[in-house]
Amino acid sequence: MKRLFIILSLFFVVLSACQDDTEPILQQEAGTVIDYAGAGDCGFVIELDNGNRIQPLYYPEDFTFTNGQRVLVEYAELDNIINSCKRGVACKITYAEELSCTPYVDLYFENYDSLARDPIYLHEAYVDGNCLYFRISYSGGCQEHTIDLARMHPWTASSSTVPTFEIRHNSNDDLCEAYFTKEFRYDLTPLLLEGKKEFVLTAKLVNDEIYNEIFDLN
């Protein structure tokens, strides 16, 4: 009986050690959020500054990921999950902090047409701190779409001094009809540093409508 007790004790010690070895290792890294919705079974993928990519399957409910967002995350890779998305390793994020919003693109007269202007459906837009937030939808599913916020610099110095921004969408001639809704946040800090008090936001909408609204910078 004593020998059996010793054997069982050793078994539980070994079992506990094995369990300790399988505990997920928490890592902390900064990275950039990329929204791959529509690309297979992918959604948000974080391109880490160390060159790796992770796909957050679990993350804090009070945190919202947006395309182009800079974040600091604490995460553990989920090695026991086979991830159907081939763009990143499945992980659980235990902590997430937004570091900054996406920078906008400057367009001048000579390159106004360098970004496509395909239509979108705009759900909402508002200023949140130093960032412009907007939520849009578009149809697709067969090509990768890109969304940019472009600052349209005036043709001449005598033009309006109120900055104008335009939401630029490139559908890459996607003819598929799946419907996607995405959220974006863009950094308005350069406007604040220039002492600007307001700006205009425009966008080409479906049915050839044009969105145009003035926003105040608090």
What residue ranges in 101-152 does DSSP mark as E strands? 105-107, 121-128, 131-140, 146-152
What pLDDT, in 10s, does the model give residues 5-27? 444 344 444 444 444 456 678 89
pLDDT tens digits for range 179-202: 999 889 999 999 999 999 999 999
What's the whole-model pTM score? 0.73
Residue carrying the six token digits 């959020």? 33
Please state, for a pLDDT cut of 70, what percent of the chain lies above it. Answer: 85
Q: What is the pLDDT confidence band of residue 154, given thresholds at 50, 70 and 90?
A: confident
From the list 24, 6, 94, 65, the residue with the least C-alpha distance to 185 is 65
Which residues are bridge partners to 135 per DSSP?
124, 183
List the domains of the chain with CATH numbers. 24-100 (2.40.50.500), 105-216 (2.60.40.2370)
